[in-house]
Amino acid sequence: MTRPTTDDPCAACPAYARLEQMGIKMDRYDRVVALAGNPNTGKSTLFNALTGLKQHTGNWPGKTVTRAEGGYQFNGVKYKLVDLPGTYSLLSTSQDEEVARDFLLFGQPDCTIVVTDATALERNLNLVLQVLEITDKVVVAVNLIDEARRKGIEVDTRTLSRDLGVPAVPIVARSGEGIITLLSTVADVIEGRIITHPRRVEGTPAFQQAIQELTPLIEQLAPGIPNARWLAIRLLEGDARVQRAIRSGELADIVARQRAAEDRLSGTAAIIGRQ
């Protein structure tokens, strides 16, 4: 394997990782990463740290109501980063939650970073578990560990990773601590170097059976759809948005788009591999 030679001695080290903020220059990108999380956990701060953009941040829940996009380059791969509005759950129907949910479901990010607040982890995990129902490709960023430390709260991210079945990385978005580890973990999850086994809430046997009956039907309707199980759950709950997506044929479109993106990405990946 050859690395680009530079005068920078660090570049020779295998652990060398290069982060380049790309602002809004995203006309060409290889991967899409979504930032989800409860309100006021520092998603926008992390977004700004990665992209070099100046998305407004504020110390109150609900600051970001639209989704912002930016780019960063990490170890030669270009990532598009989408900052979603903070939500406590993906189950209700307020507009900012719908923005977040629609993107996770229909925007098909290659990986989702769920930013959590280390000082209020339990409440934050509700959302993590809901995101895990939708997608496997998740990395949990445990943010504000400096604040937690000051408050005498210790988060054991290894136990957390094991219990959730996806990587959990401690970070301090404001100072940049842990961000390189977070990014390489995200890259590992996307490229399949880390295989996740997300924890899924089982529910009652009757419910399990209903899901098992419905999921294959959805898969027949849209072969290759990645989150048929979640769609089945939503349909059982009578979710109007998902009903609409099924009726309008939006699902088939998503799968087609996904295929096209994958073809394009494998091409790009080959080019990156050659360098």
Would you tell me which residues interact with another protein (CB under 8 A)?
Answer: 39-40, 54, 56-62, 65-66, 85, 88, 91-96, 119, 121-123, 125-126, 128-130, 147, 150-157, 159-160, 163-164, 174, 199, 201-204, 206-207, 210, 213-214, 217-218, 220-221, 232-233, 235-238, 243, 246-247, 249
Give the nearer residue to another protein in terms of CB position, either 47 or 79. 47
Tokens of 236: 């059982």
Min separation Cβ 121 and another protein, Å: 5
Give the nearer residue to another protein in terms of CB position, either 79 or 143. 143
- Spatial contact of 69 and 51, defined as CB atoms under 8 Å apart: no
Min separation Cβ 224 and another protein, Å: 14
Min separation Cβ 107 and another protein, Å: 18
Tokens of 273: 């591999």
Min separation Cβ 240 and another protein, Å: 11
Tokens of 146: 């400096």
Dist. CA 127–CA 40, nearest whole Å: 14
The values of phi and psi at residue 233, to 5°, are -60, -45
- Spatial contact of 133 and 200, defined as CB atoms under 8 Å apart: yes
Give the nearer residue to another protein in terms of CB position, either 239 or 265. 239
Chain position carrying tokens 């943010």: 143
Tokens of 2: 């050859």
Give the nearer residue to another protein in terms of CB position, either 6 or 159. 159
Min separation Cβ 34 and another protein, Å: 19
Give the nearer residue to another protein in terms of CB position, either 130 or 196. 130
Give the nearer residue to another protein in terms of CB position, either 4 or 238. 238
CA-closest candidate to residue 41, choices 109, 99, 125: 125
Min separation Cβ 274 and another protein, Å: 41
CA-closest candidate to residue 111, choices 94, 127, 132, 126: 132
- Spatial contact of 96 and 43, defined as CB atoms under 8 Å apart: no
**β 31-37/111-117 pair status:** parallel
Supply the DSSP symbol for 84.
P
